[in-house]
Amino acid sequence: MERRERADAARNRQAILRAAEELLRGNPPEQVSVERVAAAAGVGKGTVFHRFGSRVGLMQELMAERARALEEEVRQGPPPLGPGAPPAERLVAFLDAALVMATRNAGLIAAHEHARLTNRNGSRLENPIYLFWHGHVSALIAEARPDVDAGLIAHVLLGTLHTEPISTLLRAGESPRVAAVLADLVHGLLRS
């Protein structure tokens, strides 16, 4: 009996995540409510809340699924994204990968940001994905330039990915242009 419940729970989880993703493809983030996701997934609203805790939790889980692969590449993948490359090369590779992820998941990222900002505890500084990204970027900057405020520079670099002008450029297919400018900034900053 326990196995059946676990299998049902796993099916419900996947149905909820797929429904949320589908709704995000065709709707502005503020219109993707827990109620709409539950209806599209064929489950009760309580099931969504039980599984994810809140709309923020649901968006967090969707983002986490996307971010897990990138985190794994950063931790154990081949250079330049993974260990073994110089800090500047790793940082450029990471920012390129983050841009690819942002471009492919624009609706999800907007919904995730919207959900976090409309929540009482909506600070990006509480987001585990952002915290990992910031820690990684800070460490690379500090390794190459111990004389600068690596933490603040990491916030500035990552913060640019969340601005409306950059989001607009990414939606317009300008990610190569954004990537080239970020690479120029990194190389200028980390030049010894």
The domain limits of the chain are 1-53, 54-190
DSSP-assigned letter for residue 27? S
Query: pLDDT digits over 65-107, tens only?
Result: 878 889 999 999 999 999 999 999 999 999 999 998 888 777 6
At residue 2, the pLDDT reads 46
CB contact set of 22 (below 8 Å; sequence gap of 6+)? 40
At residue 1, the pLDDT reads 45
**How many Cβ atoms are within 10 Å of 123's Cβ, its own excluded?**
11
**How many Cβ atoms are within 10 Å of 102's Cβ, its own excluded?**
21
Q: Is residue 103 within 8 Å of residue 50, measured between CB atoms?
A: no
Alpha helices by DSSP H, listed for 27-163, are 34-41, 45-52, 55-76, 87-104, 106-118, 128-144, 150-160
Q: Is residue 40 within 8 Å of residue 22, measured between CB atoms?
A: yes
Sign of the Cα pseudo-torsion (111, 112, 117, 118, in order): positive
At residue 120, the pLDDT reads 55
CATH code linked to domain 54-190: 1.10.357
Q: Note the Cα 63 to chain centre separation in Å.
A: 5
Q: What spatial distance separates the first Cα and last Cα of the chain, rounded to whole Å?
A: 63
In the chain, which residues have pLDDT < 70?
Answer: 1-5, 107, 110-124, 192
Q: Is residue 80 within 8 Å of residue 123, measured between CB atoms?
A: no
- Assigned fold of 1-53: Arc Repressor Mutant, subunit A (1.10.10)
Q: Residue 52 — φ and ψ, nearest 5°?
A: -115, -10
DSSP-assigned letter for residue 162? T
